[in-house]
Structure 1
Amino acid sequence: MELGTLERHIHIDASPEVVYEVVSRPEHIREWWSDEASLDPTPGAVGEISWHDGPTETLTVVDADPPRRFSFRWVAPEGAAATDTNSLLVTFELTASNGGTQLHLVETGFREKGWETAVLEEQYHDHETGWDHFLPRLRDRAIAVGADR
């Protein structure tokens, strides 16, 4: 099994503009992903997300192209700037589809981190499980935000 790229697809009954806002704005990220979030969704901006029962992660925005693409790097060593060899890259690609949005999530960089095989497998599967849990919450949040407009 290839553990270098994690991909997920989900259809969301909300416009790409709404979905983009939900994946990139801290007030929405707090509702579907982390307990706390501080992030300016502009390229080069550095922010944080955290969970009450877990770690704080630094996010570095790589690409912000509303309403088509939002990407960030995370899981870099503490105190180090995120690069393509020391962090994971998460990209949300959004495409209008059937009156809503097709979200394509890609997370890469697992092999580039240089983890030993056991750590690589554990991290990859942890992220798989995480996205499988959080993407339906993202979908529900986007539908709710879209319904409020």
Structure 2
Amino acid sequence: MSTDQIQDTITREIEIDAPLALVWELVSQPGWWINDGAIVDNTIEEKDGAWHVTNSTHGTFPLLLADSREPSYVAFRWAPWDERTVEAGNTLVEFFLAGPGDGPVTVRVVESGFASIDLATDKVADNYQENESGWETELGALRTHLEAR
């Protein structure tokens, strides 16, 4: 597969029956989506200008905060394939929140930048496919977690 065949962007959306402030509180946490389909308490440490999120199963992932506009938008850069490349080769993960203060809240995630990553094409394509289904799982976990509160 050549780089011109790699898809660049994944977009997923879900509606959550919870107050906007509660959704923002979780979605704005670095790496909340690093888990196995259920929200867990990852260890988060700020070091060398990045957030290092450690999940007991999946290891440590550095994330860079790209932008934050409470309570409607937050974006992170991350490189889940190699923690050493977060500053050089990464994707942008954006979360858009919309809805009234008391809910429901629509959460849209857009992960982009796959086509410009300087890694083996098959590795990028595999990561794209994993994340394509992974975002559905993670948004479902987000809804389950927040609606149970």
RCO higher in structure (CA 8 A, sep ≥6): 2
TM-score normalised by structure 1 residue count: 0.77
Distance 1:46 1:129 in 2: 26
Return the offset for 1:115: 3.2
- Runs of 4+ more than 3 Å apart: 28-35, 76-81
- 2:52 counterpart residue number: 48
Secondary structure of 1:103 counterpart: strand
Q: Structure 2 length as normaliser, TM-score?
A: 0.77
1:38 alignment counterpart: 44
Distance in 1 (CA, whole Å) between partners of 2:40 and 2:7 is 24
Cα distance per residue 1:52-77 (max 9 Å; x no partner): 23231101111111110011000075
Q: Is the 8 A contact 1:88 1:110 kept in 2?
A: yes
- Helix, strand or coil at the partner of 1:118: helix
Distance 1:138 1:25, change over 3 A: same
Specify the alignment match of 2:87 in structure 1: 82
What residue number does 1:106 align with? 110
- Aligned residue pairs total 139
Work out whether 1:126 is the aligned partner of 2:130. Answer: yes
Q: Percent identity over the alignment?
A: 28
8 A Cα contact 1:110 1:120, kept in partner = yes
C-alpha contact 2:93 2:109 (8 A) present in aligned 1 = yes
1:38 to partner: Cα distance = 1.1
Deviations 1:90-124 (A, max 9, x none): 00000006941111100011111133332222010
Query: How far apart, in 1, do the equivalents of 2:63 and 2:93 lie?
Result: 10
Structure 1: gaps spanning 5 or more residues: none
RMSD: 2.9
1:115 aligns with 2:131: no
Distance in 1 separating the partners of 2:85 and 2:123: 20
